[in-house]
Structure 1
Amino acid sequence: MFRRALLAAAAALPLALGLGLSSAPVPAHAASAEALDAAAAETLELLLETHPVTRDMLERAAGILIFPEIIKVGLVVGGAGGDGVLQVEGETVARYRSMAVSYGLQAGAASFGYVMLLMDERALDYVEATDGWEVGVGPNVTVADDGFAAKFSTTSEQSGVYVFFVGQSGYFAGAGIEGTKISRISD
């Protein structure tokens, strides 16, 4: 079984690397708008089930980037990608693609989703105005784990971006957004 996962990762690697990390908008062909919106709604439900503390944060966020499914494959060199939506006041205002390339001792295949809570207008404006946002450049990003959620105070998250992972499965030990580039998808 593990050998199959490694072979699948090796076969998918050229595709992952060729998905394009350019800053130009990419065409929306991977998922229909309706399917992506439905998957985003399911991802928010899963977020609330696994991290109930996010309910208040969701209500106060200036915007929410929702990536229902990111596929990650790797064999020394890896790639990850998936499509998502930007919601403002509960409505989808744009579609985005998340792409990443990683290097190092790695092997396997995994999938996960993540939700980025843009807690202030500055973070939202940055995402909307940037032609290909490289995570780690721009607004301060905090990756929230179970420990963070347990001691979280609703008075502490006034600005920046908070990332919550949901639905992790596969052969990678964890999920990350380091080196991720998020680009708006053209219609």
Structure 2
Amino acid sequence: MNKSFPSLRTLGLAAALAVGGIAFVGCTTTPAGSEASGPSARNAMDQNVDATLARLYSTVPGSRELVQRAAGTLVFPSVVGGAFVVGAEYGKGALREGGRTSGYYSTTAGSVGLQAGGQSKSVVYVFNTPEALQKFKSSKGWTAGADATVAAGKIGANGSVDTQTYQQAVTSFVLTNVGLEAGAAVGAAKITQISM
């Protein structure tokens, strides 16, 4: 037997790996170029944050005033989740202070339970006090619920943000394709500062 030629088993394994690799690449849900960084990525993110805030203002009466009075607002325009029994969510966003972006962040969360499918939502965290914002900014990885209690933004009987929402240190709003997800909790989302 000539040792200079690879065995059929080796060729078969190499072919299977090549086909599997191509199939795996074809199954990715991350669009090409979505991991871009630099000025164009920051500009795109800032535009998405502006659009998300505009949507919040039109969906939740009184939210513009809440954000304007806040020490800071962290906006994730698109948090994408996928699940089949075990779920995961991921998104990127920006922190606004005084109407200007002061940093970029990622959010990740996992869950276990009877669930299926995927979804996309926008998540907005409003830091109502300077102390809550400072604690968030000084952390090396902030987890909602563990590092701070995050109250779901509530709408009062008059259809506007209620007074209890203003009194919470950190409030969150979750927007889906159909509007505000009333009373939605953000769970144990881990938030980390990133470079863009």
Structure with greater strand share of residues: 1
Is it true that 1:102 corresponds to 2:111 in the alignment?
yes
1:78-99 CA distance string (max 9 Å, x none): 1001000000000000000010
> Among 10, 35, 38, which residue is 1:29 paired with?
35
Contact 1:102–1:179 (8 Å) recurs in 2: no
| The structure with more radius of gyration | 2
Is it true that 1:78 corresponds to 2:84 in the alignment?
no
Contact 1:168–1:175 (8 Å) recurs in 2: no
TM-score (norm 2): 0.72
Contact 2:82–2:118 (8 Å) recurs in 1: yes
User: Match of 1:123, as an amino acid?
Assistant: A
TM-score (norm 1): 0.76
User: Match of 1:29, as an amino acid?
Assistant: E
**C-alpha deviation, 1:117, in angstroms:** 0.5
Match of 1:140 in 2: 149
| CA distance, structure 1, for counterparts of residue 80 and residue 57 of structure 2 | 22
Q: How does 1:100-139 map to 2 (within 5 A)?
A: 100-139=109-148
| CA distance, structure 1, for counterparts of residue 56 and residue 119 of structure 2 | 18
| CA distance, structure 2, for counterparts of residue 149 and residue 37 of structure 1 | 32
Contact 1:12–1:73 (8 Å) recurs in 2: no
RMSD: 2.7
Match of 2:65 in 1: 56
**C-alpha deviation, 1:12, in angstroms:** 7.0
**C-alpha deviation, 1:146, in angstroms:** 4.9
- In structure 2, stretches of 5+ residues that fail to align are 1-26
Structure with larger RCO (C-alpha < 8 A, sep 6+) = 1
Match of 1:5 in 2: none
- 1:179 is paired with a residue whose SS is coil
